[in-house]
Amino acid sequence: MTHAPNQSDPAMPANAPDSYPLIERLAAFVPLTEAEHGFLRELHANRRTIARQREVIVAGRRYDGLFILCDGIVLRYKVLSDGKRQILGLGLPGDLIGFPTCLFTDAVNSVSAVTDIVVASIPFTRLFELFRTWPRLGIALFWACAHEAAIYGEHLVNLGRRTAYQRLGHLILELHARLRAVGRAGPASYSLPLTQEVLADVLGLSGPHVNRMVRSLREEGLASIEGRAVVIHDMTGLAVLARFEDHYLAAEPIPDLT
Amino acid sequence: MTHAPNQSDPAMPANAPDSYPLIERLAAFVPLTEAEHGFLRELHANRRTIARQREVIVAGRRYDGLFILCDGIVLRYKVLSDGKRQILGLGLPGDLIGFPTCLFTDAVNSVSAVTDIVVASIPFTRLFELFRTWPRLGIALFWACAHEAAIYGEHLVNLGRRTAYQRLGHLILELHARLRAVGRAGPASYSLPLTQEVLADVLGLSGPHVNRMVRSLREEGLASIEGRAVVIHDMTGLAVLARFEDHYLAAEPIPDLT
DNA sequence: CGGTACATTGAAGGGGCTCAATCCACGTGG
DNA sequence: CCACGTGGATTGAGCCCCTTCAATGTACCG
């Protein structure tokens, strides 16, 4: 049960065995006091490793807390009664897992681990404590969730109004930006351990068609996906094609929060 | 600038000129004390009426607060550089508008009023006060936003993995459930002041095709949309067809919150 | 009465799906 | 060392859902 190091890209920092990704995430919104810092460190205390392919959250079950994804990649998805699957989003290190699905009596979505992952569990009692004792952290968390929600918004645009080709291009650029923000990507490359089947379920497409789009991107010299190695050859060209604008990924300090 | 009363359906309660929809929304998650009740009432103090078709939030501009939608319907959307529009969601009475778009330095989405609407504005300073002074309300708000996020998740499934026919059916059922929850719908009917063009942009379809799907639904005896009157003739048949399950719309009290 | 907004309908085309077959890399056991 | 199994990538053929681009209809409104 080794958890995979960041393979192949020398630009990636070694993944510290005890990182505090939620701290980095929230620090983007609020300058943290030493005391707040300490509380957040405690939130990472209860870590657990989960093997790839394992379910982290099963739709229909009850949960009494959330998780911070400390390392690895997860996907949140829903399966329809006719067997079709739609992946609602990818969780990258630093993301909160269980929002919003665990905030229901019975989880509304499932979450499974793509790679081996490390999660820190946060029981709701801890979360309540956070809101009660550290209101600034509560506000920052609120902001962080809003930023996650904005990603879903862009995902909606992807499914509703972009062609298959554009969708794939957009996803490649979004994941690059998100991974880069947490030190998991090079200037124009990253490692993406997803099968084309999974990409298809993210993009609302079929497997074979994703394959064709991957080939097109390569033939056009825009980007290449070989195995798990993604390389972007023409960032601006791809952005133009995919109508990618990264405003929605920017995390900036909350104004006027004293 | 009259704001439209709930026309045509006798089951709908008259829309009180001074309602407190956020109270009802949050009360579903947390039993409210009298003091909390009072604070929330204050949040509704600063009301404003906005005429139909008017923009409430313009993407790219800066905002210093959120809004509670007290009455009417809004839509949140994004327009791509090639002119295509995707509507990310409909805001109904009681919904928070500006989440997540206003929590960015520059708003990432636009919001416009479909009908004449009444909004209560909540500057961030008030919001911070809420989190600092009324932590239970902060928690409830967090939960409420999670529930809104779940709606977007289902919307993603709609665009990614349902046919045009199913999408329309699903939307009809979802809106019925949501409107009914806030006392704006009859047992199997409601008023929906959206053009087919707008429906198309919600569903990721073209206008003409929405028209055909509307006709199909009527011919199959499942539901009818005539002008703004929506009538569901076969609730279960429609639910089966659209793979509609309403778990994600259920708001239940937060457990263990003392 | 003309204008505007929206609903409706038709014809043609294409983007993406379905359903396979094939290929390929890799790990495993004999 | 090779046979085999397996998961995934790749490719092809046919088709159908949905789009595009109109034209037409229709209610409402100043």
pLDDT of residue B258: 78
- Interval A18-50: pLDDT, tens: 799 999 999 999 999 999 999 999 999 999 999
How many residues does this entry show for chain B?
A: 258
Q: Is the CB of B203 less than 8 angstroms away from the CB of A160?
A: yes
User: Has residue A14 got a pLDDT over 80?
Assistant: no
Q: Hey, is A70 helix, strand or coil?
A: strand
Q: Is the CB of A88 less than 8 angstroms away from the CB of B161?
A: no
In terms of Cα–Cα distance, which of A107, A119, A96 is closest to A58? A107
Q: Is the CB of A109 less than 8 angstroms away from the CB of B153?
A: yes
Q: Are strands B74-79 and B47-50 parallel, antiparallel or unpaired?
A: unpaired
Provide the CA A174 to C1' D16 distance, Å, integer.
32
User: Has residue A218 got a pLDDT over 90?
Assistant: yes
pLDDT of residue B58: 97
Listed in order, strand segments (DSSP E) in chain A are 47-50, 55-57, 65-71, 74-79, 85-91, 96-97, 110-113, 117-123, 189-191, 223-226, 229-232
> Any idea of the CA torsion for B230, A108, A68, B22, to the nearest 10 degrees?
40
Provide the CA B242 to C1' D6 distance, Å, integer.
36
pLDDT of residue A15: 46
- Interval B140-175: pLDDT, tens: 999 999 999 999 999 999 999 999 999 999 999 999
pLDDT of residue A76: 97
pLDDT of residue A17: 58
Q: How many CA atoms lie within 13 A of B229 on its CB side?
A: 7
Provide the CA A255 to C1' C18 distance, Å, integer.
52
Looking at residues B22-37, what average pLDDT do you find?
96
Q: Is the CB of A156 less than 8 angstroms away from the CB of B157?
A: no
Using the C1' atom of nucleotide D8, identify the protein residue whose alpha carbon is closest. A195
Q: Which residues 150-189 of A are in CB contact (within 8 Å) with B?
A: 150, 152-157, 159-162
Mutate to test the interface with B, among A125, A145, A161 (most CBs of B within 10 A): A161
In whole angstroms, what is the distance from residue B89 CA to residue B72 CA? Answer: 14
Q: Measured between CB atoms, does B233 come within 8 Å of chain A?
A: no
